[in-house]
Amino acid sequence: MRGKQAPKRELTPDPKYGNIYVAKLINTIMYDGKKSVAQKVVYDALDLIGEKTKENPLDIFDRALKNVMPSLEVKSRRVGGANYQVPIGVRGERRYVLAYRWIITATRTKKGRPMAQKLAEELIAAGNNEGEAVKKKLDVQRMAEANRAFAHFAKR
């Protein structure tokens, strides 16, 4: 690796809720630098969550993130001509990145409704420990559990 590692940038909280995790979701949803469009999608989704569940939408959003964040994942490691799927723990920052990615991917695969509505449904489902994003997390965790025999190949 050449040069210095780029410094971590501080994320400014979103304007409506003052929450950095909502701001990160907005940035992850954003296409082609169109932040106002992404903000509208996320805020509409959170409003829909509030209407449907009669709860604080930020509580449901936090619960959904916690339910989707993985604690283990597998990484390919080449040892003696064979590739092994080695289970490793997921560090804090990457847990959030994977959770956002899985929620947004699950939302975008659904068809026929506005993005805000699909996002609201996926977040509500994830808050209740169901939905495609939670299914993806369970698949990754199951894969890591199944390959526990290769854990000794992980670099210390």
Q: What is the pLDDT of residue 147?
A: 83
Neighbouring C-beta atoms of residue 87, cutoff 10 Å: 22
How is the chain split into domains, by residue range? 20-153
Residue 48, both tokens: 């829909």
- Decide if pLDDT at 156 tops 60: no
Residue 134 has pLDDT above 80, yes or no: yes
DSSP output for 99-132: HHHHHHHHHHH--SS-HHHHHHHHHHHHHTT-SH
Contact indicator for 60, 53 with CB cutoff of 8 Å: yes
Tell me the whole-structure pTM to 2 decimals: 0.90
Q: Which CATH class is domain 20-153?
A: mainly alpha
Can you say how many angstroms the Cα of residue 57 is from the centroid of all Cα atoms in its chain?
A: 17
Judge contact between 147 and 79, C-beta under 8 A: no
DSSP 16-36: TT--HHHHHHHHHH--TT-HH
Round to whole Å and give the CA distance between 48 and 54. 10
**Model confidence over 57-80: pLDDT tens digits?**
999 999 999 999 999 888 888 888
Average pLDDT score over residue span 79-95 = 87
- Structure tokens that stand for 64 in this block: 């959904």
CA distance 156 to 153: 9
Higher-pLDDT residue of 1 and 2 is 2
